[in-house]
Amino acid sequence: MSVELVKEQIRRFLSSDTPEVLAIKGSWGVGKTYSWEQYANEFKDDCVLKSYSYVSLFGANSIDDLKKSVFLNTIDVHNIGQPLNFKSRSKSWVEPLQALKIKGIVLGDVLGSISQLAMSNTIICFDDLERHSERVTIKDFMGLVSYYKEQKGCKVVLLLNEEVGDKTFDDYQKYKEKIVDRQLHFEPTAEQCFDIMFTEDFEFRNYIRDCCIGLVIKNKRVIRKIVEHTKEFLELVNGFDENIKKQVIHSTIVLSWCYYCHGADKKRIPEFAFVNQSGIRKENVQVGWTKEITVHWNMTLNQYGYGFTDEIDLAVARGIEQGFLDQEKLITLCRHKQKEFEIQNASAKWDEAWKLFHGSFNNNEKDIALAFEEGMRDIASSTSASQYSSGLKVLRTIGRDEIADELIEFFIDSKRGSSEAFDVDSVFSFEIKDERFVERLRKSYLELKPEPTVKDILDLRCGSNSYNSSEAEILARLKAEDIYDLFMSFEGEELTDYIRVFMLLAGSSQDLATKVNEALDKIASISELNKDRIYKFRN
């Protein structure tokens, strides 16, 4: 049922004094409670009955608790929507009354009876039926609802998710036919869910809305978290190119969706860890990513327009996990990306090459090859290796390998003054899609920047969690005996710190890992004391 129809039915329900029970069902998070409270506030002047009470079954341990809460939460309908905490107020009333004794009579024992007698001609909303405790059976609850309607002239609203109750919830199906007069299925569209939550305009509202709609996100709590995340993250990237801002928004939304909603629909919504990985997302049967589910998840992500996860996306994902972004890292990554956009915007020939590539289905490989050669020569001195490699990929696709290899050398000659441009193993280096290019860049980097010694690497990476793969290759040249001698020479704090550097870099080199383990085994075999000392490096 559409939102407008539900709204109209609620208006009719409130504007009548006929005792009846209205059930509003819908999935968790779609906004049943939010919309009911909004419409009740909007139509409170039309209410024929003048008293209102809202009670959640979540946390109620008995029918008597519900009776007391209904009584103590009752307000004048004109106070609906006012900033009063009725739940905390009822709790503050109930607990002292339950403990109070007058001439041996515990007032808490009779409060339920008094409240039940006092309640009449009231609009009562019971929320969270599916979350009822074991001590509150649906059978007894429905009996209480029937009593309020038949004996006390009340109008009762039930808000529930009919699909997720436990076995005891089967009784609701049994008794609703006799007790519920009207049932509405509250099933708003993704557009309506967003628009109900956010009526006012804010920066990138329409883009955020379109992204949420594209993923069919209806859970209002998730939508609120998404908007909060995007606003917070956008503050950090203020001043950067709009394309960078939109990437942050686009990634924040899909990653938040996976992080918060995967458990609700594991077949349609990708697992967070599946998306939060760089490179190609492949099947992994060990963690449940079968071929079928991997294909399905990738199709969902592709339809949303989410391709490979880059370093900016990974930073966003980490921010969602830990609740805040690493500002320094994100800004550094955005600066690198900004340079790419500036170069792309400044180079007319490079832009024209891509327009020619995307502009038709003609058999025009010769024209494309010439356009990319001119464009790449034009941007070589100012572009990044990542952006340059996208042109190499096009040339190799159309069989122009010789031209691609020539352009690689042209790029290297253009960048001789900046060795950092060749550092493909830097954490801030974006993906380079050409193996030959990567090979030449690594070689040129070592030619321009002297290779660090083992001691240089140990000092540089001491206490760090990052490194270059070239550093692991340098350490891997050592023999197991050399590593053993080094370990035996370490003393004091440097012993633990330096060995941990070896362990860190061994994570990217099986050869180094084998040699390190041999050295540790040899040290452990010297004595039981050393065996105990080595234990901390193995766990």
All structural domains of the chain, each given as residue ranges with its CATH number in brackets, are 3-188 (3.40.50.300), 192-328 (no CATH), 347-448 (no CATH), 454-538 (no CATH)
What is the CB-side half-sphere exposure of residue 368 using CA atoms within 13 A?
Answer: 23
| Residue ranges, the chain, pLDDT below 50 | 86-97, 99-100, 102-103, 105-107, 427
Residue 464 confidence (pLDDT): 79
Angle 294-300-276 from CA coordinates, rounded to 5°: 65
Q: What is the DSSP letter of 31?
A: -
- CA quadruple 405, 411, 415, 419: dihedral sign: negative
Distances 100 to 69, 88, 93, 97, 490 between C-alpha atoms, Å: 18, 19, 11, 5, 72
Q: How many CB atoms lie within 10 A of CB 79?
A: 12
Length of the chain: 539
The one-letter code for the residue type at 304 is Y
Distance between CA atoms of residues 227 and 489, nearest Å: 55
Instruction: Specify whether the CB–CB gap between 304 and 214 falls below 8 A.
Output: yes
Q: How many CB atoms lie within 10 A of CB 274?
A: 22
Number of helices (H), then strands (E), in the chain? 26, 8
Nearest to 471 by CA among 497, 452, 489, 444: 452
Which pairs count as long-range contacts for 342-349, CB under 8 Å and 24+ apart, including other chains? 342/241, 343/379, 343/382, 343/383, 343/384, 343/387, 344/387, 346/382, 347/375, 347/378, 347/379, 347/383, 349/374, 349/375, 349/378, 349/379
Angle 276-232-270 from CA coordinates, rounded to 5°: 25
Instruction: Specify whether the CB–CB gap between 90 and 68 falls below 8 A.
Output: yes
DSSP of 42-88:
HTGGG-SS-EEEEEESTT--SHHHHHHHHHHT-EEGGGTTSS--HHH
Distance between CA atoms of residues 534 and 517, nearest Å: 10
Instruction: Specify whether the CB–CB gap between 506 and 472 falls below 8 A.
Output: yes
Q: What is the DSSP letter of 423?
A: -
Residues 49-105 pLDDT 10s:
999 999 999 888 889 889 888 988 889 999 988 875 544 444 444 444 454 454 454
Residues 292-341 pLDDT 10s:
999 999 999 999 999 889 899 999 999 999 888 888 888 989 988 888 77
Residue 539 confidence (pLDDT): 66
| Bridge partners of residue 522, in order along the sequence | none
Tokens of 504: 């860190």
pTM across the whole model: 0.56
Give me Rg for the CA atoms of the chain: 33
Residue 113 confidence (pLDDT): 56
Residue 470 confidence (pLDDT): 78
- 3-state helix/strand/coil string of 456-507: HHHHHHCCCCCCCHHHHHHHHCCCHHHHHHHHHHCCCHHHHHHHHHHHHHHC
Where helices occur in 80-204 by DSSP H, the ranges are 86-99, 107-118, 138-150, 170-179, 190-197
| Bridge partners of residue 278, in order along the sequence | 309
Distance between CA atoms of residues 294 and 265, nearest Å: 15
Residue 94 confidence (pLDDT): 47
